[in-house]
Structure 1
Amino acid sequence: MAELVGSMVVGSLLSLVKEKASSYLLDQYKVMEGMEEQHKKLKVMLPAILERITDAEKQATSREAIRPWLQKLKVAAYEAIQVFDEFNYEALRRQAKKEGRYIKLGMSNRIMFRYRMGNKLRKIVRDIEALVKQMRDFRFDKQPQAQVQINYLRENDSTMVDPEIVGRSRDEEKQKIVRMLVKEQANNKDPMVVPIVGMGGLGKTTLAQLIYNDPEVRKHFHQLLKWVCVSDDFDAPALKSRRQQRLTTGKYLLVLDDVWNKDDNKWNKLNACLKHGDVGSAILTTTRDKEIAQLMGTVEEHGIARLDNKFIKEIIEAKAFISQERKPADLAGLVDDVVERCAGSPLAAKALGSVLHGKTNTEEWKAVLSKSIAHNKDDKILPILKLSYDDLPSHMKQCFAFCAVFPKDHEINVEMLIQLWMANDFILEQKDVRHETIGKQIFSELVSRSFFQDVQQVIGERYDSVYWYFSTSTCKIHDLMHDVALSVMGKEVATTTEKPKQSDEFLQNTCRHILLSCEKPEAVLNDSLNIRSPAMQTLLCGHPIESSLQHLAKYSSLRALELCLHKNTILLKPKQLHLLRYLDISFSDIVALPEDISILYNLQTLNVAHCDELGRLPKGIKYMTALRHLYTHGCEELKRMPPEVGHLTSLQTLTNFVVGTGPDCSSIAELQHLNNLGGPLLLSQLENVTKAADAKQANLGNKKELRELSLTWTGSEEEKQHCHKVLEGLEAPPGLEALRIEHYQGTSFPTWMGTLTKMVELHLFDCNKSNKLPPLGSVPALQVLRLERLKNLESLCSGGTFFHFPNLKELTLDELPEFDRWCEVNWVQGEQIMFPQLEKLFITNCGKITALPGPALLGGPELGAAPKVLKSEDLELGTTLCGGDYGKARSSFPALKVLKLCRLDNFQSWEATEADQGNTIFPNLEELSIEKCPELAALPSATSQGVSFDHSDVTAWLAFPNLKRLRLFYLDSFKSLGMTEATHGEQQRFPDLETVCVYKCPKLTTLLGDCESLVEVFNVPASLKTMDLRGCPKLKSIFGEQQDEPTFNQGPSAVPKLSSSAHDHLLLPCLEYLRIYRCESLSEVLNLPPSLRNIDICECGKLQLLSGQLDGLRKLDIWFSTLERLRLRECKSLASLPDGPQAYSSLRDLFIKSCPGIQSLPSSLKKRLDDLIYKYLDARHEGTHQTHLSFHHQMHKSAHAF
């Protein structure tokens, strides 16, 4: 890290001291009795210092003598904050005692308290008096601190630079590396390692992301793409996570981002294992160090170029000006000078543009330009980033600098970050404005100034059985910005991901914020605190605490604590944590919290989520009135809430309210006054609510900030008899965005569900008595609809209305035994089709569904008019759609990408009627899975039936033009995929198909699977990569013909004869995986393509011959040269394997068992035996032996060391 003179963040600390010194509680409870003189002196001195502190902080970077003075002032401020927090806590203790809710914990002697605190305060006042005298000698200018503004959001949406600028700026470099990875590397045995090298801030990671997300790259490496942020520590958890997310034996692209380590031993160990990936695998690395690039690279490193000035200019203007139309001419004339300062760095451009955004005249711009000189040396742009930091308001500086406690590349939970800011008093009080609101605005401003990046919304996190659509946001910090934060915080933060070699090197006495992401963090703490006595404010432990913590008195200054506790671990006593504001003990093995936790009068956040054994919350929790966030989801043993939780009127988050019974718990009516609740709320055990009045008293409709609501019933039918009235009383607020209802036993849904115009997601589970959905026509924003186990539901649209779900993206229908129609009546829809935006459709266990909606009817007499009800005979479509002669919904599913159908007992056909030339059904479908649909006979035909409408012939329509993965299992009536030879003027079917897996389709005669009638496999798409043949007892031939290829010999077992001119038209040129199981009639497998990497043949007793494709330009000796895995079992008639100079040169996995006809191995294979990673051979093969060694085990052992 380049050396920076870190700014001293002192002004915001002094403002906090001033605020605390003026607290009304101090006077009300006379906790400073006898210390009035010192208190008065302090309140007089603080404004005098605050008037000059801004100038002092500015001059500290250039006047060396000022820094020690500021450091002393900072220490005094921290000590003052600690003392006033003690005074404030004593006031709250006395208030609790007065109100009769005081828990006595040992002796509480007022005289001793005054004596102890008086001494501390007098020392602080003396120190500050001396510093004030010294301040006069420095002759600082008066610069009153600017008032904190509530709304930090900028007028333009400039939080992110236009992605188009980023894409265009690196397009040439991206295309160059994409060509290397996809084309030049395609047939290489060993993985190619392409290093991207360049100074920090030039956009190495951005370029790698552009490559990683390129469609051609994602298609080429579809088996596995993996991104690992390495950063300073090669033993970081992100790299170790390959234990959970393993690289498979397929072709992969691995990105190692931000590599620093030069240990060639670690790299060689990892590289040795990575070589066992498939042919064409590749590794992309980014690093600032050219030596590392040379160490890792197998090709010449790509030195990332400085960004062209025209793109730098675009970035600066996007950040600095509200819009191109509102760009002052005098300022625009200075942009070129700003460009020169950035040294081709997009990060510097974003940072400097953000600084200039708030400057409105040329003098301000020139003042910034005079300070922003980037060096062309390697380090470069840190001065500009430091300038961007210095331009922040004082309180924002403190918020960002705190983030130095997180490791580089750490994914930060934004909600947690804001709560940690609050716990450490970084967010000052503002009248009538929530701290959380200010925190979000501070975060947004820091994002807009490029201090945070990679902001993502984590959507769809599953908490046990509860699925929340909206979750939380995460972000990261650029490495160079992290360096800036570290330069500011210095020894005030300590972070480690592994146990320090020496305890005295980890913690310093000046340390205030600590993060331990290593195993057994308590051992590190115990050892370090034997030597040091830091005034800890934040302690975050990322691994479980397995033994007790020592030196408990040293934890008394903590404001934020995160621990995961094992059963036998002793929890820190609340008396030792009395100043705590943030406590996260989620995922701990605890049965209960101590009752005296209620003395944590300042606690704002309590997280006990996923404490599986937690059976109760403390009864005194009602006295913790400062609580704002209470996370209780995932606590399976929690059966009730303690009494009178309604006293916690500051609560903004309550993730699970468990409704209990009896006097020792809270009823649902306790929610009445918790009107600040927002985010997600789960109300569970609603069977315990028996009166509609109680449900109404919960007053959910008045909780304007509530975004997600989950309502669940449990228990017997008798216990749920009042559920309809209860649900009617639990009216949600109009701003609700996600609603989930489970085990509701009412016959209908309340009308208020139709008023939720902002609802994006709706889940209805186990609502068995409801036969109609709520009126969804008035919920146009709906994007996700999940209906599971609704036994009486018959259709999606009810009440004589049609609704086409204009924004729905995901639809799940599961276990709907009575569902037999998409609409209650027939409609001619005109141009309106159902599901125009639907991307995922999952239908399972819906026994009465007979067909999917067909394409829309266009060109009819009612086009453009209101929908008209018609009888089925008017459409001449018969009964191929849901429900016989009614319910004819129309859709060509224009956006659908994933379709899964399972256990549809009556599903028979696909409707196809289209009057628009060239229109396509399922035009974007990539994955199709159909399982256990016994009546389905075929996929849609390539041309429509002879249906007419309004005297216009219905033209041919296409199906599945982009399908990549096809899975057909247990289809008793299925006869055809429709993969017949394309006639003149028709397009090929399945032109992009990559994977086919067909199993137990006994009537299928034209392609694959467990197909008792299947005789020949032919006319398979050239794009196919995976073929799976299982249980086809009559199959005699495969690869008989390819689409658009001439047939030279006829007959079910004929082998095509390719002329020498056919070398560019190999059969199945993309096939990589072939599995053949239990095909007893198969005697030959001929024409195997050279692209094969995996062959697995089992229980094919008549198989005698394996052979590759042969043409005039290719010799047999290249066959099997790319083969990596060969497995043969119980093929009793197979007598030999092919041989050739290059055969088996890529093989690393060999398994041959119960193949008695193979008396000896080919010479080319014998040469490879010692190099194989895994081999199993029958003992009859001379000179061979059984060896078992897992590729994953070997690779992960090395990856761990790396």
Structure 2
Amino acid sequence: MADGLVSLVVESLGSMAIQELSFLVGVKEDLEKLSHTFEFLQAALIDAEKQQVKNELVKNWLGRLKDVAYDMDDVLQEWKVVIDGCDDGTGSEDKVCSHSFPPCFSFDRASFHVKIGRRIKAISARLDQIKEDKDRFIFREIREEGGAIESDTMETSSLIDETGIFGRDPDKEIIVKQLVSEGSSNEENIPVISIVGMGGIGKTALAQLVFKDERVKKHFDKMIWVSLPHDFDVRRIYLAITKIRGWSGSLEELQFILQCGVRKTQFLLVLDGLSNVDEARWEKLMISLKGAATGSRILVTTRNVNVTKLFSMTLMHELKPLFENECWSLLSSRAFSGGRRGDDGGVLESLGREIVNKCHGIPLLLKTIGSALRSKKDVQDWLSVLHEEIWDWDSLGAEKIAPALLVSFHDMPKHLKQCFAFCSIFPKGHFIEKDKLIKLWMAQGFIPQRGRGEMERLGGLYFDDLMGRSLFHFIETDEGGDAKYCMMHDMIHDVCESIMSEYLVIQEKTPKSDLTKARHASWICNWDVEFIPSFIHKASNLRTLLLIGWSKIHSISHRFISSLNHLRALDLSGSRIKKLPNSFQNLKLLRYLDLSATEIQELPEFVSTLCLLQTLKLNHCYKLRKLPKGIAKMIKLRHLETEGTCLEYLPKGIGRLTSLRTLTKFILGGERGCKITELKELNFLQGKLEITCLNRVASRDEANEAELEKKQNLQTLQLSCQRSNLEILVESVVAQEGVFEGLRPHTNLRDLIVSDYIGRQFPSWMEDCSSYSNLTKVQLSYCRCKQMPALGKLMSLKWLEIKAMFEVRQVGSEFCGNSYGGVTRTFPKLEILIFESMEIWEEWKLNVGAGSIPFLIQLSISFCKKLKALPELQHLTSLQELNISSCPILCNRCQRAGEDWNKIGHIPNITIDGMKIQ
């Protein structure tokens, strides 16, 4: 949005860097004038953005202003590269180094200063004309009070239960009964149940409600949810069902895999958002699903009733608008989510019911308007919403409810508007990853940085606020229950597109004129595409370019990169790129680069000259072996993601990147690469840290210098050594025991993974139950210890996985926890316990008494060939699932009739070597 963009420019114009610019190039008066003019125009932007919906002249005027603001921001950022430069590692104070100049800096400094001065004067002249043209319109001057909210007290409602749907219980019951009905025994085609209704009526929400119903979960062996774009893509559906990524084979081969996967399986397939499909493509999908078990069902949501004529259908359920009382319940649940209505509660309810009448029973409108009202505290605020002119506008397409969605949009503060508008570059139906989105916002400067403040934390608050305003839906959460993925509703996407001309989803039919105007874009790749099409080269003003999907693109041309000098964010993930062209070093304004899942083998040295880069994603680059030696120059790098790579080591100097928040793998390099001491200053690390090749650390003293105890934001720590078949010397064992003892982490740690440890005893801090009260998950694998650590003492441990402990013969009392009044309280919160590949494990002498392991839900034991018996399990009253496989002695005993099953008859799910016993 123009207001947010202008705010960024005004802030930059007032910075110390620009004061230095005015001194160097002699344009101080021009800069001051620009700043004042931008501030003057800013007061009219809130009203202008509302008027642009129905006034094309206002929209054009705003477009010109945004173009000028974008160009001014480019000038300021290019100068920022010059004054910040790249740290060459020498400590020199002269940071203006020649290799850091953007492409327009091809001459000496004096020449560059002259060019910058000319550009500033030209921009000033354009802005003067825009200011003069403003008098042709009548804008109310509205100034937003305060800036971006930066505290944890930001009012959000991300905790609102999205499944709290009003008035849909009867609809849900109808759909569920159709899904779980026995059906005909001679069904030739899989029955299709379709939910039909207008946009925003709640089709997806109802389908989600059905999908989560316990009766449905128990009825089907397999449940698949596929969110569809407007084009029915059979390959995309196949990949979603089979969960195969990056498929390079033919469609016929993929079809065969799908047929094998669903054969004799009773499944539910949800196709959400189905719009256009012809009979041939639908029949192709049906053929692929033949062979599934009787009782399989397909659930479709669609706006297009004509689509349902293709189906072998048991039900077409038309979703109707909500009744008035249901509408009020939904709106008030959002508007009064805090539970307090204040002294004006009665008046607000009266106004709210009038607003409800304008929403015509459409849940999407009720949710977004109700969420907007939540931040409005008095009667006047509610009156302003009720009397918004926008309720009467109908210029945004056939759906009359679309304009009303702008009430929520215009209600947002400017820092949220630009973050939300950015999301329109993702295609409809695309799952938007929260973490990625925040890093893209950072790359565009949408999230302010104050000193060493946590932009990521603030970005998370922005995301939660947008979720609380019901502008995203269909959240997928991570293991910790935090939001991981979101999706923008199609109608909200339409509204954004209608007023955001600089945000674009590029397709073959996209007009070339739109490409020249675009500042942020995505391009949906098809698998068969081998080159980036030449027409995208016309998008020379792009600040963001995301390649969406998997493709066979194997190279990036010099010409293409040379046309993208303004880029802040570039995503080439999922392609087959093997190397980067030299022209890449000209992308000096780049802050976000994603090369994940490409075939790149070595990151060129010139990448280290991209000194504004904040995020470098190299996940699953399985051929990548080396990073640039000069990576220490990238002092603004905050996220270095290398999950799933085959890097041999990290370069020396990585410890200078003190802004790092993400460093997924820290690979010790011995003489060639970094040492563990380089972790010392990286105290802002957060999330997961994997330290590998710990056998290259000489002593406990050296390990102590990593100062892991100061990394308070780390949640997951993985410690591993290189596996070797060579004879292990006693000296090596003692040294490694000392090294691991010196790697004591901060007590905030939640997950611990230890692998390939050759010490004879685990470090003492692993059993420190008083310090590590936050530890919830532990995984131990390929460790040489003969005795298990006393993990039963860890009071918050929920998941424990023990794998390939080849020298453990007996598990006994050492595995237990604390004793209270003579009663052993072992693993007080453990829910999942897994043993795997314990080759010489024979006895489990754990004395499981009353009060021990009270919350254990799942116990799995596999490939433990010598284990003779289980401990007494009758006291494990919470145990729901027992899985035993490839344990011949134990399985033979468990399969004997009578006595063993009488002891554990309370366990509802017992599986022995893949056979369900009860």
Instruction: Assess same fold via TM > 0.5.
Output: yes
Q: CA deviation at 1:934?
A: 4.0
Structure 2 residue 717 is the aligned partner of structure 1 residue 699: no
Pair 1:596 & 2:613 matched: no
1:143-198 C-alpha deviation (Å, 9 max, x unpaired): 333222435767887325446642x7322222222333333634333322222111
Letter in 2 for 1:287: T
CA distance in 2, matches of 1:817, 1:10: 66
Counterpart of 2:673 in structure 1 is 665
2:693 aligned residue (685, 689, 692): 685
Please give the TM-score of this superposition, normalised by the length of structure 1: 0.68
Q: CA, structure 1 residues 764+36, in 2 after alignment: closer, same or farther (shift >3 Å)?
A: same
* Residue 819 (structure 2) pairs with residue 805 (structure 1): no
What CA distance in whole angstroms lies between the structure 2 residues aligned with 1:968 and 1:55?
Answer: 69
What pairs with 1:639-678 in structure 2 (closer than 5 Å)? 639-662=648-671, 664-678=672-686
User: What are the residue-to-residue correspondences of 1:653-1052 with 2, within 5 Å?
Assistant: 653-662=662-671, 664-714=672-722, 715=724, 717-718=728-729, 719-753=732-766, 754=768, 755-789=771-805, 791-792=807-808, 794-795=811-812, 797-798=815-816, 801=819, 802-816=824-838, 819=841, 829-830=849-850, 832-845=851-864, 847-856=866-875, 891-892=876-877, 894-903=878-887, 905=889, 907=890, 933-938=891-896, 941=899, 958-960=905-907, 962-963=908-909, 966-968=911-913
| Corresponding residue of 1:336 | 353
> Does residue 1:559 correspond to 2:560, yes or no?
no
* Residue 16 of structure 1, CA deviation: 1.0
Letter paired with 2:174: K
Q: Distance in 1 between matches of 2:581 and 2:286?
A: 44
Cα deviation code 1:538-578 (max 9, x no counterpart): 34353343134234320211111122464655435333211
Shift of 1:54: 2.6
Contact 1:748 1:771 in 2 (8 A): yes
Contact 2:650 2:667 in 1 (8 A): yes
What is the aligned partner in structure 1 of residue 253 from structure 2? none
Q: Give deviations 1:1060-1104, integer Å, cap 9, x for gaps.
A: xxxxxxxxxxxxxxxxxxxxxxxxxxxxxxxxxxxxxxxxxxxxx
Corresponding residue of 2:495: 484
Measured in 1, the distance between the counterparts of 2:463 and 2:712 equals: 23
Equivalence for 1:1187: none
- Is 1:263 the counterpart of 2:278 in the alignment? yes
Question: Do the aligned residues in 1 keep the contact of 2:501 with 2:518 (CA within 8 Å)?
Answer: no
SS in 2 for 1:764: strand
- Whether the 8 Å CA contact 2:830–2:853 is kept in 1: the answer is no
Q: Which residue of 2 aligns with 1:428?
A: 448
Alignment-derived partner of residue 1087 in structure 1: none
Deviation at 1:378, TM superposition (A): 7.1
Offset at residue 511 of structure 1 (A):
4.5
3-state SS of 1:284 partner: strand
Q: Which residue pairs with 2:522 in the alignment?
A: 514
Quickly say closer, same or farther: Cα 1:75–1:720, change in 2 above 3 A: farther
Deviates more, 1:395-404 or 1:503-512: 503-512
- The structure with the greater share of residues assigned to helix is 2
The residue aligned with 2:506 is 495
Aligned amino acid, residue 857 of structure 2? L
Residues 633 and 102 of structure 1: is their aligned pair in 2 closer, same or farther, counting only changes over 3 Å?
farther
**Does the C-alpha gap of structure 1 residues 942 and 671 become closer, same or farther in structure 2, counting only changes over 3 Å?**
closer
Q: CA–CA distance in 1 between the matches of 2:98 and 2:790?
A: 51
Looking at structure 2, the residues matched to 60 and 504 of structure 1 have their Cα atoms a distance apart, in angstroms, of: 23
Provide the rounded CA distance (Å) in 2 between the counterparts of 1:406 and 1:848. 53
Residue aligning to 1:577: 587
Please list, as runs of the form range in 1=range in 2, the aligned pairs for 1:211-222 lying within 5 A after superposition: 211-222=210-221
Asked if structure 2 preserves the Cα contact closer than 8 Å seen for 1:689 and 1:695, the reply is yes
Partner of 2:308: 293
Q: Distance in 2 between matches of 1:151 and 1:846?
A: 57
One-letter code aligned to 1:601: C
Mapped partners of 1:101, 1:71: distance in 2: 34
Counterpart in the other structure of 1:1041: none
Question: Partner of 2:505: helix, strand, or coil?
Answer: strand
Q: CA deviation at 1:449?
A: 0.8
Question: Matches of 2:481 and 2:383 in 1, distance apart?
Answer: 45
1:396 alignment partner AA = L
Deviations 1:449-501 (A, max 9, x none): 11122222344xxxxxxxxx9998222222222222222323531234xxx26
**Secondary structure of the equivalent of 2:753?**
strand
Using the TM superposition, give the Cα deviation of residue 798 of structure 1 relative to its aligned residue in structure 2, in angstroms. Answer: 4.3
Report which stretch shifted further, 581-590 or 352-361.
581-590
- The aligned length equals 871
**Residue type of the partner of 1:435?**
M
- 2: CA distance, partners of 1:177 / 1:780: 41
Residue 275 of structure 1: how far off its partner (Å):
5.6
Q: Residues 365 and 27 (structure 1 numbering): CA distance in 2 closer, same or farther, change over 3 Å?
A: closer
Distance 1:57 1:555, change over 3 A: same
CA distance in 1, matches of 2:288, 2:51: 54
Cα distance change of structure 1 residues 287 and 624 upon mapping to structure 2, 3 Å threshold: same
SS of corresponding position for 2:680: helix
CA distance in 1, matches of 2:156, 2:542: 41
* SS in structure 2 of the partner of residue 159 of structure 1: coil
**Number of the residue aligned with 2:250:** none
Alignment-derived partner of residue 190 in structure 2: 191
Matched, 1:249 2:233: no
Shift of 1:536: 4.2
Contact persistence 1:189–1:280 (CA under 8 A): no
> Which stretch of structure 1 is more off in the superposition, 680-689 or 319-328?
319-328
CA–CA distance in 2 between the matches of 1:772 and 1:101? 57
SS of the residue corresponding to residue 850 of structure 1 reads coil
User: Quick one: which amino acid aligns to residue 332 of structure 1?
Assistant: E
The 3 A distance-change label for structure 1 pair 149 and 472 is: closer
The answer to whether the aligner puts 1:303 opposite 2:321 as a matched pair is: no
Match of 1:232 among 230, 239, 253: 230
Give, in whole Å, the separation in 2 of the partners of 1:179 and 1:141. Answer: 55
Aligned partner of 1:353 in structure 2 is 370
* One-letter code aligned to 1:346: P
1:538 — aligned with what? 545
Shift of 1:603: 0.4
Where does residue 976 of structure 1 map in the other structure? Answer: none
Unaligned runs of 5+ in 2: 245-256
2:172 alignment partner in structure 1: 174
Structure 2 residue 643 is the aligned partner of structure 1 residue 633:
yes
Name the CA distance, whole Å, in 2 between partners of 1:318 and 1:575. 52
Q: Deviations over 1:838-895 (max 9, x none)?
A: 2343343162442232323xxxxxxxxxxxxxxxxxxxxxxxxxxxxxxxxxx23x24
Q: CA deviation at 1:361?
A: 1.2
How large is the RMSD of aligned CA atoms in angstroms?
A: 3.2
TM-score w.r.t. length of structure 2: 0.87
Deviation at 1:811, TM superposition (A): 0.9
Quick check: 1:81 aligned with 2:73?
A: yes
Distance 1:236 1:409, change over 3 A: farther
Q: Give the CA deviation at 1:353.
A: 1.0
1:206 Cα deviation after fit? 1.9
Secondary structure of the residue aligned to 1:515 is: strand
Q: Secondary structure at the match of 1:169?
A: coil
Q: Corresponding residue for 1:1110?
A: none
Counterpart of 1:573 in 2: which secondary structure? helix
Post-superposition CA distance 1:588-626 (Å, at most 9, x none): 323322212221110001112222232221121111100
Find the counterpart in structure 2 of residue 48 from structure 1.
Answer: 40
Partner of 2:249: none
Higher RCO, 1 or 2 (CA under 8 Å, sep at least 6)? 2
- 2:837 corresponds to which letter in structure 1? E
Stretch of structure 1 that moved more, 150-159 or 690-699: 150-159
SS in 2 for 1:45: helix
Aligned partners of 1:206 and 1:346: how far apart in 2? Answer: 10
- For the residue of structure 2 that corresponds to 1:851, the secondary structure is coil
